[in-house]
Structure 1
Amino acid sequence: MEGMQHQHHGGFMQEGMHHAVAKGVTLDAKVDAAAHTVTLRVGPMNLPPHTGHMQMPQPADQVWQVSFDGWLLAYHPRLVDATGNPVPGAVLHHTAFWNENRSDFLCPNKEEHIFGAGSEMTDWAEVPGYGYRVQKDDQIRIETMVYNPTATSYDKAYLEVVIPYQGAAENTPPRKNVYPAWMDVKACGNSSYDVPAGKSEKSGTVTVKYDGVLLGVGGHLHDYGRQIVLQDISRKETVATLDAQVNEKGQLESVPVKLFVQEGGFTFSAGDVLKTSATYDNPTGKLLHNGAMGIAVGYFVPTDDSKMPALRRKIVHIHEMAGKSHDH
């Protein structure tokens, strides 16, 4: 396996690059019915210092087969070592979760992208009353890409994501369904693009096909990213301006989240054109090949949820190299 090349699926946060495959990486999925949590753990991954993502052997895609009907409520990612001590988020290039059984509502050419994080390790908090609906046996593909820009070696690192859930059969009010909205400067293409030296801006548009509201919006940038702006150009309104927090070298530390829950959400109508713009300031003096992404990420609640089951799809591809994991 070590010398084999692994071609990632095309999609949001996907790069279409070839990497050596890391050996021995598996997915461990544990459901704690009493605590109403799923804990997903991908690893172990050995991360030598000063190793870029093109040089680092990458984990093969893993698949979590959901063992219940219900709603996923939040995503709490962290990196740990074998003894449970924290590993800095700086070594996570990105992780992305896709529901292979559903199409994305903005870009139906892609699978539904239900969660993602980069080195900013954005914690996706629960929105009371809402959740992401899953069905038993849904296949959630987990792609993880790591690197290590630090001077410290990390051996046997694990990506751990804790997901609180609510079962559909429980004697509690059902959740309203949310759909993750990924509004990408590359529209419905691959998310990565080249960053020239100095200041630059890139933008792209996508058309909303359903009436509904956006509950909130965060963002995904890479190092030297400075700002994401989401606009509804049909309404001539700015939905959100998100200024990144960076360190003195311009490396990304965090991207804020803006919530509209108190106002009942930011209203979109079918046919509205959304424009996402990302600003970078690259101080390296050289072009960084595929060095950028610019994505505004939010939760969309359709006015008429009965239109959304049409997004279910048959799984058409074979997991040649994906590790299967069942709950235990």
Structure 2
Amino acid sequence: MSIILFVGIIFLAACGQSDESNGGDEEGNADLTPVKFALDWTPNTNHTGIYVAKEKGYFEEQGLDVEILLPGEVGVNQLLAAGKADFGISYQEGLTQARSEGLPLVSIAAVMQHNTAGYASPVEKGITSPKDFEGKKFGAYGSDLEKAMMKTIMKNDHADVEDVDFITTGDSDFFVAVERDVDFSLVYYGWTGIEAELRGVDLNMVYLADFSDKLDFYTPILATSEEMISSDPELVKAFTHAAVKGYEYAIEHPEEAAQILIDDVPDLNPELVKRSQEWLSPRYKDDAEQFGIQEQERWQKFADFLFENDIIDEAVEIDQAFTNEFLPEK
């Protein structure tokens, strides 16, 4: 699963398309408030807390009947802005760009406390630092943000991004791409890296956050709209509390949480889910005081980075882009 680099690369279900294993009005749910939650990608361990909260009744305890929308043709940020989804999985990079374009979206919790994305390559490629990118082929989506991020960490390593050959591969399979077309690509280790381990493919990883604190952005995040927050803050609080409880369960019980995801989405590779969950569970909260909390400084640094690199044309008011107010009090 490659990292999402700009709004619209990954698509979500149009309104009404849902995960059939979790959808439908169940008997006894008549008094529950219906809520639509949009995934950014096919179900994976970034989403475990949502599936746990649904399966273990945490949403129901908060009076909610949550329907999970699967990927389709409309981007999650567009769904949220249009009111076609109430909540969803987004990314700081995508949400910041969306706000600069006038979409009033808000991050309400960080799913991952630190950016676990990095440049992955088979060890035989010999890529162990940004300097090694020179003369290599990079599997790209084709966004300006990709080049800006790579330029930043290469500059810090006294290297030149102009010496990298950007090959547009879109969301093609990482393993096929590095075997046939490119030398390295940007991935989330928690899924693609774990899959590599299972395949017996040894990878070198160059993590964005290790080379620039500007690039330690929150990815993924739980997001909603300003309209939802202003019209029904109690619903936002109820959803956030239940979702946080689901992720906290996954932190404490990775094996059981993985099994919930496997049972709900039987098409997934069970071993990949279990190994991925084991790797991700301690990283959801990591060194933060609580799961989901976000720091203004990190939002500001990344927004400044986007503006300085002409990725966004309008500066973003960070105070409006995220909030911690709906997280449970600790």
TM, length-normalised to structure 2: 0.24
Question: Which structure has more strand as a fraction of its residues?
Answer: 1
Question: Which structure has more helix as a fraction of its residues?
Answer: 2
Q: Which fold has the larger relative contact order, with Cα–Cα distance below 8 Å and residues 6 or more apart in sequence?
A: 2
